[in-house]
Amino acid sequence: MSDNRPIGIFDSGVGGLTVVKEVAAAMPFENIVYFGDTARVPYGSKSKDTVTKFSVQIVKYLLKKNVKAIVVACNTVSANCYEELTKIFTDTPIFEMVSFGVKAGLEATSSQRIGVIGTEATIRSNAYERAFYDAAADITVFSKACPLFVPLAEEGWTENSVAEITSEIYLQELLDKEIDALVLGCTHYPLLLNCIHRAVGSVKVVNPAVRAAAEIKTFLSTANMLAECVQHDRKLSFFVSDFTAKFNRISKVVLGKAHIAEKVDLEV
Amino acid sequence: MSDNRPIGIFDSGVGGLTVVKEVAAAMPFENIVYFGDTARVPYGSKSKDTVTKFSVQIVKYLLKKNVKAIVVACNTVSANCYEELTKIFTDTPIFEMVSFGVKAGLEATSSQRIGVIGTEATIRSNAYERAFYDAAADITVFSKACPLFVPLAEEGWTENSVAEITSEIYLQELLDKEIDALVLGCTHYPLLLNCIHRAVGSVKVVNPAVRAAAEIKTFLSTANMLAECVQHDRKLSFFVSDFTAKFNRISKVVLGKAHIAEKVDLEV
């Protein structure tokens, strides 16, 4: 038994490409359809209502593409709208990032003191805190919104002094709490991995997408929903709500190849 | 003869409040209706088609508010969509920022070497260059997109080392060209005025909104369209497409008072 329909992955913009990277690496035969809402990015500074409305439009679009499962790459959507999405769309498995970030974070910490960074909307939602406290009573979670990380990553300033100092300013507060693991609660943040590593020293840095890809593979395998192991190349398809050169540039940085995205209009 | 209908001002988000400030100061009896597209901000990294679509929706909304004139505070819209807007909406005077920035820039320069900074979309449009070259044959214009300035201003990092270094990195290229005047081609940038001043030293810094407010006043006066000089307070009304605490915080910084904005939905 196999299922060659694509996996749908979506994000507010280009950041979700870091999730595509991990899913594509873990499941080399899977077709993937990606949607990035580049016309309305960023979600992280917007309200729950607005982000929910946008997400529902995108899931409907992906379902029209005949996807077998949906991965909410965006942590802001994961943190604010996942329950709503699973209530509306009951026929398709939907995965989100927060639960995988929590599982990986719990494995990484020894001191039970964990830091979480994300967008304003993700941090304000307290979704990571709630999930951590539900999973482990003895954990202490410290969270911090880092709104400049997304524009820095998109500007390509991932290694310069501005990225260094910004990382130090944002992360010092978490270091003062003596965390020993840090969850990257935003798909853009793996692009700043080197700076973040330097800023936090020996603290273990956790990218939820790595764990997500492994667990989604297990789920699809158990459900007999993995694609066939065929010789020809699987297809990665990219759709965006606005076309900008940034997509090509960042897809090259993240995926090693400048993929072309097709522009589609969801607001019709 | 007088006209007490409000002046409509719009921007992609909260940045246009710096234009409200200048218009309100120059015309103390005018009612003002402001719309900030906070659900879809920023415009500066988006395509002309997308920004035009959003702008048309907003102008229609302001016209329903019975405005007598419209001020396109957003430089990205001014640079990319002004002609389109004046073709569609022929019954209401519409003002944009670029022409005022150019007039003020030409008065500020002695060396005829001028710098312009703005969002990616504003700079990519070459609207400032074209307007400068149309106005003065002997001028030389150097432009530079500064995409991190908007998120820095919104984060409130307007005086720290990150803002300092970012200003120095972005503006050094223009200083190397020996400009003697710099036009702030984005409504957010006046929030970073101190850092920008320090980075450019003796170069004159031009805020187009100051000139815009003076010229709009002259236009309304000539057309007998100024509001009556009444004793009671004029009304400033604020509408946004998404409600966030940021609006209150930045309105306090810019206008000296935390105004409350009403959330409205344009995408229906």
State whether residue B39 sits within 8 Å of chain A by CB: yes
pLDDT < 70 stretches in chain B: 231-232, 268
| Residue B247: inside a domain | yes
Give me the pLDDT at residue B181, please.
Answer: 98
In this complex, the residue of B45, B165, B242 whose CB is nearest that of residue A46 is B242
Query: φ, ψ for residue A84 (rounded to 5)?
Result: -55, -45
SS3 A188: coil
State whether residue B267 sits within 8 Å of chain A by CB: yes
- Of A190, A208, A226, the domain-final residue: A208
Nearest to B197 by CA among B213, B177, B182: B182
Q: Which residue does chain A place closest to B151, by CA atoms?
A: A148
Adjacency order of strands within the sheet including B140-145: B140-145, B113-118, B181-185, B204-206
Handedness of CA A154, A156, A158, A161 (dihedral sign): negative
A106 and A85, same domain (yes or no): no
- A56: how many CB neighbours lie within 10 A of its CB? 16
The ipTM, to two decimals, is 0.81
| Residue B51: inside a domain | yes
- Of B163, B190, B208, the domain-final residue: B208
A83 and A147, same domain (yes or no): no
How many structural domains is chain A composed of? 2
What is the tens place of the pLDDT at every residue in A135-155? Answer: 998 999 999 999 999 999 988
Residue labelled with tokens 């720290």: B160
> Which residue range is the domain that position A196 belongs to?
98-208
B132 and B204, same domain (yes or no): yes
A128 and A218, same domain (yes or no): no
Residue A246 has pLDDT above 60, yes or no: yes
A111 and A204, same domain (yes or no): yes
- Rounded Cα distance, A196 and A158, in Å: 10
- Of A189, A208, A227, the domain-final residue: A208
What is the tens place of the pLDDT at every residue in A171-219? Answer: 999 999 999 999 999 999 999 999 999 999 999 999 999 999 999 999 9
Give me the pLDDT at residue A231, please.
Answer: 63
| Residue A130: inside a domain | yes
Query: φ, ψ for residue B23 (rounded to 5)?
Result: -65, -45
| Residue B74: inside a domain | yes
| Residue A52: inside a domain | yes
B121 and B181, same domain (yes or no): yes
Which residues of A fall within a CB distance of 8 Å from B165? 161-162, 165
| Residue B89: inside a domain | yes
- pLDDT, mean of residues A34-39: 94
| Residue A2: inside a domain | no
Give me the pLDDT at residue B231, please.
Answer: 63
CB contact under 8 A, B162 and A151: no
Q: What is the CATH number of the domain that holds B82?
A: 3.40.50.1860
Which residues of B fall within a CB distance of 8 Å from A150? 151
DSSP state of B6: P
B167 and B249, same domain (yes or no): no
Query: Which residues lie closer than 8 Å to B186 by C-beta, 6 or more apart?
Result: B15, B44, B75, B76, B117, B118, B119, B122, B146, B149, B150
Residue A268 has pLDDT above 60, yes or no: no
A109 and A121, same domain (yes or no): yes
- A210: how many CB neighbours lie within 10 A of its CB? 18
What is the tens place of the pLDDT at every residue in A70-128? Answer: 999 999 999 999 999 999 999 999 999 999 999 999 999 999 999 999 988 889 889 99
| Residue A1: inside a domain | no
Residue A238 has pLDDT above 70, yes or no: yes
B120 and B182, same domain (yes or no): yes
Q: What percent of chain A has pLDDT over 90?
A: 82
